[in-house]
Structures are given as C-alpha cells and as structure tokens.
Amino acid sequence: MRVLVQEAPFDLAEETARFAKGEGGSGAIVTFTGVVRDNDAGTLSAMEIEHYPGMTEKALREIAQQAVTRFELQDALVIHRYGRLVPGEQIMMVATAARHRRHAFEAAEFLMDYLKSRAPFWKREITAEGEAWVAAKDEDEAALERW
C-alpha cells in the first residue's frame, strides 16, 4: 500500500508501471486519474487545492486500508496533489489490484467516493471572472451510501 500527498506532479506512466510490477499476480488492475478540467466557459486559469497536513495522510491511509480489507486487494495506491494546478494537470490517481475484476473496480470507486468527501482537501477555482471555493455536491455525499 502506498499513499502520497505532494505538491509536485506525479508521473502517471511510471506510477502505473511500478504498481503493475508489484501487484503479485493479482489478475486485475484498475487505475483512476483525475485531471483539472477547464470550466464550460473555458475561463479557468488555475485550481488551488488546500489540505490539512497530517490529517490528510492519515485519512488517505485509513481509506486505503479499508479498501484493501473490504475488497481483498493485493495492493492499493493513492496519490493526491495540493497547491496550484492548471487545466490539463493531473490532480490525483488511485490504483487497485485484486484477483477479480469486480473487486478491483469497486475498490477504485470506493476510494474515489471517500476521497471526494472524507479526505481534507478543498478546491478553489481561479477564473477570469474571479475566485471561488468549489462547493461540495450533495451527490458526492450520497455516493457514500452505496458502501
């Protein structure tokens, strides 16, 4: 299990290769990568991500450990960035390895649903029109009820 919270970009290809190499014959590997998306008006200049140093690592580790236990994962990876990111940059990734594809998929969705609403990150959008904190969505909270 590997959990990284960092300001620097990560290398998706390298992380994916490393994870696949170490997965130990699990059969199924799922990755999810989040990318900063421009807004509909095309005016997003940056996304600033604030976090809670100390608690973030702890929360991510707990979420990843829950996923490993619940979905019988061989391995799990979580990388989440903070700081100032521009459209097109990768914000975060998760990877899961399991013997059965359904478990690998479910675990990755579980990780994402929990990261969205239970890991102490806050996003702020900087646009041509001004700056604003991204509001949490009711649907993100509702997504946790599946698990």
Residues in contact with its own copies, counted by CB under 8 A, come to a total of 31
Closest approach, Cβ 12 to its own copies, in A, equals 6
Whether the Cβ atoms of residue 90 and residue 124 lie closer than 8 Å to each other: no
- Contact flag: residue 136 with its own copies (CB under 8 A): no
CB atoms within 10 A of CB 39: 12
- Contact flag: residue 27 with its own copies (CB under 8 A): yes
Of positions 9, 37, 45, 141, contacts its own copies by CB under 8 A: 37
- Contact flag: residue 33 with its own copies (CB under 8 A): yes
- Dist. CA 60–CA 76, nearest whole Å: 11
Please give the C-alpha separations between residue 125 and each of 31, 55, 62, 132, in angstroms, as whole numbers.
26, 23, 28, 5
**Binding partner of residue 58 among another protein, its own copies, none, CB cut-off 5 to 8 Å per kind:** another protein
